A and B are shown apart, each in its own frame.
Chain A
Amino acid sequence: EIVLTQSPGTLSLSPGERATLSCRASQSVSSSYLAWYQQKPGQAPRLLIYGASSRATGIPDRFSGSGSGTDFTLTISRLEPEDFAVYYCQQYGSSPPFTFGQGTKLEIK
């Protein structure tokens, strides 16, 4: 099973700053199979990025994804107040097919 480790666990930043979130896989993951989600309290996850770097429909261009192999990054270029949430990475593999990271909480400093 591929394990995804996200860092940091909590990131404290101010609106307008740049956020960089990391997702590291225990084995190589195809870029096509790496996605990022945003989750706000009391809400379902929302797809942000798929295929490591493609933005989902309606996602602002301040969100970007990059990486390959075992290291992937979600970057938010200029934080807006509504961006403070928990972020999860997810990969598709063999057995089991899907795993999620443990999440990074992005909080207001």
Chain B
Amino acid sequence: QVTLRESGPALVKPTQTLTLTCTFSGFSLSTSGMCVSWVRQPPGKALEWLALIDWDDDKYYSTSLKTRLTISKDTSKNQVVLTMTNMDPVDTATYYCARMRGGYYHFDYWGQGTLVTVSS
């Protein structure tokens, strides 16, 4: 059974760095082809893809946000971490992590999401 769960602060101040952790089970990021991505959704708005890390430690980022994002993994802990620097109120959103399997190009399992509010 595949599960993912996001964790991190519910509230961050402008200019601060956000660190989110995705803890997953039911698969391993050391398995060839496995990937974990981060996707966010501002309240009432559409989904926005942020970053992806694969089993081989290759990393991919949103063009518009890549200077602010860092994705990393800890395979032994079954965790993927996303950091986003210089947070702004427009970054207020629900942040999801999701799994993608090799050979496929969609997200088959999602976490429940964590709402991050950026406010002073």
Closest Cβ of chain A to B100, distance in Å, is: 9
The residue that A99 contacts in the complex, of B49, B96, B107, with Cβ under 8 A, is B49
When distances are taken between beta carbons in the complex, the residues of chain A under 8 Å from B60 are 96-97
Closest to B112 in A: A44
B106–A97 CB distance below 8 A: no
A96–B46 CB distance below 8 A: no
B49–A100 CB distance below 8 A: yes
Q: Does A102 contact B (CB under 8 A)?
A: yes
Closest to A44 in B: B110
A33-B105, A35-B106, A100-B46 given; A44·B63 CB < 8 A: no
A47–B105 CB distance below 8 A: no
Q: Does B36 contact A (CB under 8 A)?
A: no
Q: Does A92 contact B (CB under 8 A)?
A: yes
B interface, CB within 8 angstroms of A: 37, 39, 46-49, 52, 60-63, 96, 98, 104-108, 110-113
- List of 6 A-B pairs having minimum Cβ-Cβ separation, nearest first: A92-B105, A35-B106, A44-B110, A98-B49, A100-B47, A50-B106
